[in-house]
């Protein structure tokens, strides 16, 4: 294993190709089990998954790896990623696993790991696990092999917890809500939570077949909800992604609101209520410059991190902050969850609707975004386009032209062989010109 196993959010790749092969996943399970096993007995791991066909294969391989090192395995079945974080801590497990490639197509899959506190693993933990995989893992003695069993109450426990985060003694009675579950992990629990809180629920993306997760639906394709909201005259639409750790909202007019807008709304209300810890929001370098300017106008600081909700959470914990997230829709509220939670994020927005009596369109567009564009450039794995002189010169020239009225961000994807080129500028023409020059240089070097 010469390549680095872990990316920005666990391990991810095409199913039945490295690293998502049975052999590698089995060894990963054994390495994680060995790394977290505290003593000879009573060590456990919880494993959840989304609805991809390859989830069965990966679940079985992980189970074999964990039990071979003496870990007992609790199989949760299809549940959202935040449910795994919640249940890892709640069931006093030593480690939690979510089998999912999040918003990626069905042919991909991934493995996200949680520590006993329910938070995602640190870079240090991941490096330790990779070292074990390279150096070898000692199996348990025959009489110490672990057991595996289904845990049938996982979804019910998460449903009840999610409902408990909604404002006390408030209900969703009278609201018509479209929810698109992306044919993914939340296809049962999200409609259940909304219905049990009193809403009239119109569900789409709730017929997973192993192949249709994120296919023309969910947070990466909100147009499905936009159409349904307009057709049914719904009050709001909710779009989680395949593992439901992020969300995009659609107002009654069919206009989508991303994670930046949702964070701006929650931050403003929490600051007014004295609930915003440190009067600070944590977001990544991808969040819009308009969010930063809006928060500053309210006396709220924005702390930026590298891309990945795991790094957002690390900064939040280090600074004692309780609100953060990503433009893509990860909304992290450590008062309620250990990771991004699309459903609980949506419930906070719905709580604002109920408490203020305002329509979704009055709440969802909190600030005017600075024009922003993102272009993904695919590169050959043996190439290093960001190291090319022509690319460096194009980036430097673009930054000079943008000055203080814009931003340029170029980075490698942590999950795919892509260079992501993002530019912001108050002048749309300048934005297009700078973006084109950098993209052309990256493509030439790819």
**CATH code, residues 157-254:** 3.40.120.10
Q: Per residue in 27-81, pLDDT tens?
A: 999 999 999 986 556 899 999 999 999 999 999 999 999 999 999 999 999 999 9
**pLDDT (average), residues 116-142:** 93
| Predicted pLDDT at 417 | 87
Around Cβ 382, how many Cβ atoms within 10 Å? Answer: 5
Question: Any idea which residues carry the catalytic annotation?
Answer: 102
pLDDT over 80 (residue 389): yes
Q: Per residue in 76-108, pLDDT tens?
A: 999 999 999 999 999 999 999 999 999 999 999
What's the mean pLDDT when you consider all of the chain? Answer: 95
Q: Give the confidence band of 265 by pLDDT, cuts at 50, 70, 90.
A: very high
Q: Give the confidence band of 405 by pLDDT, cuts at 50, 70, 90.
A: confident
Pairing of strands 200-204, 95-99: unpaired
Q: Per residue in 136-192, pLDDT tens?
A: 888 999 999 999 999 999 999 999 999 999 999 999 999 999 999 999 999 999 999
Q: Give the confidence band of 8 by pLDDT, cuts at 50, 70, 90.
A: confident
| Predicted pLDDT at 404 | 85
Q: Per residue in 271-326, pLDDT tens?
A: 999 999 999 999 999 999 999 999 999 999 999 999 889 999 999 999 999 999 99
* Topology (CATH level 3) of domain 372-444: TATA-Binding Protein (3.30.310)
Q: Give the confidence band of 194 by pLDDT, cuts at 50, 70, 90.
A: very high
| Predicted pLDDT at 41 | 64
Q: Where in the chain is the domain with CATH 3.40.120.10?
A: 11-152, 157-254, 259-364
Q: What percent of the chain has pLDDT over 90?
A: 92
Q: Where in the chain is the domain with CATH 3.30.310.50?
A: 372-444
Per CATH, domain 11-152 is 3.40.120.10: yes
User: Helix/strand/coil (H, E, C) string of the chain?
Assistant: CCCCCCECCEEEEECCCCCCCHHHHHHHHHHHHHHHCCCCCCCEEEEEECCCCHHHHHHHHHHHHHHHCCCEEEEEEECCHHHHHHHHHHCCCCEEEEECCCCCCCCEEEEEEECCCCCECCHHHHHHHHHHHHHCCCCCCHHHCCCEEECCCHHHHHHHHHHHCCCCCCCCCCCEEEEECCCCCCCCHHHHHHHHCCCEEEEECCCCCCCCCCCCCCCCCCHHHHHHHHHHCCCEEEEECCCCCCEEEEECCCCEECHHHHHHHHHHHHHHHCCCHHHEEEEECCCCHHHHHHHHHCCCEEEEECCCHHHHHHHHHHHCCCCEECCCCCEECCCCCCCCCHHHHHHHHHHHHHHHCCCHHHHHCCCCCCCEEEEEEECCCCCCHHHCHHHHHHHHHHHHHHHHHEEEEEEECCCCCEEEEEEEECCHHHHHHHHHHHHHHHHHCC
The model carries a pTM of: 0.91
Per CATH, domain 259-364 is 3.40.50.300: no
- CA distance linking residue 47 with residue 422, whole number of Å: 35
| Predicted pLDDT at 37 | 85
């Amino acid at each position: 294993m010469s390549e680095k196993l872990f990316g920005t959010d666990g391990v991810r790749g095409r199913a039945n190709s490295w690293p998502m092969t049975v052999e590698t996943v089995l060894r990963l399970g054994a390495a994680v089990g060995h790394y977290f096993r505290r003593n000879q007995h009573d060590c456990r791991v919880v494993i959840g998954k989304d609805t991809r066909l390859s989830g069965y294969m990966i679940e079985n391989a992980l189970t074999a790896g964990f039990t071979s090192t003496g870990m007992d395995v609790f199989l949760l079945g299809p549940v959202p990623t935040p449910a795994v974080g919640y249940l890892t801590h709640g069931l006093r497990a030593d480690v939690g696993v979510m089998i999912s490639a999040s918003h990626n197509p069905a042919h991909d899959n991934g493995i996200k790991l949680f520590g006993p506190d329910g938070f995602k693993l640190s870079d240090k933990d991941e490096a330790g696990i990779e070292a074990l995989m390279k150096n070898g893992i000692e199996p348990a003695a025959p009489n110490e092999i672990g057991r595996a069993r289904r845990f049938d109450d996982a979804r019910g426990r998460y449903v009840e917890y999610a409902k408990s985060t909604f404002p006390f003694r408030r209900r969703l009675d009278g609201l018509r809500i479209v929810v698109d579950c992306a044919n993914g992990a939340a296809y049962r629990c999200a409609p259940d939570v909304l219905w049990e809180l009193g809403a009239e629920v119109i569900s789409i993306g709730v017929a997973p077949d192993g192949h249709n997760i994120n296919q023309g639906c969910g947070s990466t394709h909100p147009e499905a909800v936009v159409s349904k909201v307009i057709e049914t005259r719904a009050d709001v639409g909710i779009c989680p992604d395949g593992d439901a750790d992020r969300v995009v909202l659609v107002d009654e007019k069919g206009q989508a609101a991303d994670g930046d807008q949702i964070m701006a709304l929650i931050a403003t209300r929490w600051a007014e209520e004295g609930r915003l810890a440190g009067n600070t929001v944590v977001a990544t370098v991808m969040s819009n410059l308009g969010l930063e300017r809006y928060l500053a106008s309210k006396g709220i600081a924005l702390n930026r991190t590298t891309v990945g909700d795991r790094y957002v959470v690390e900064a939040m914990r280090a600074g004692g902050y309780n609100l953060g997230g990503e433009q893509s829709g990860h909304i992290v509220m450590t008062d309620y969850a250990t990771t991004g939670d699309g459903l609980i994020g949506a419930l906070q927005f719905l709580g604002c609707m109920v408490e203020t009596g305002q329509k979704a369109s009055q709440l969802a567009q909190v600030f005017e975004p600075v024009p922003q564009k993102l272009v993904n450039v695919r590169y050959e794995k043996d190439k290093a386009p960001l190291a090319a002189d022509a690319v460096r010169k194009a980036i430097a020239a673009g930054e000079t032209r943008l000055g203080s009225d814009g931003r340029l961000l170029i980075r490698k994807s942590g999950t795919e062989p892509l260079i992501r080129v993002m530019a912001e500028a108050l002048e749309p023409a300048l934005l297009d010109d700078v973006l084109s020059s950098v993209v052309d240089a990256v493509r030439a070097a790819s």
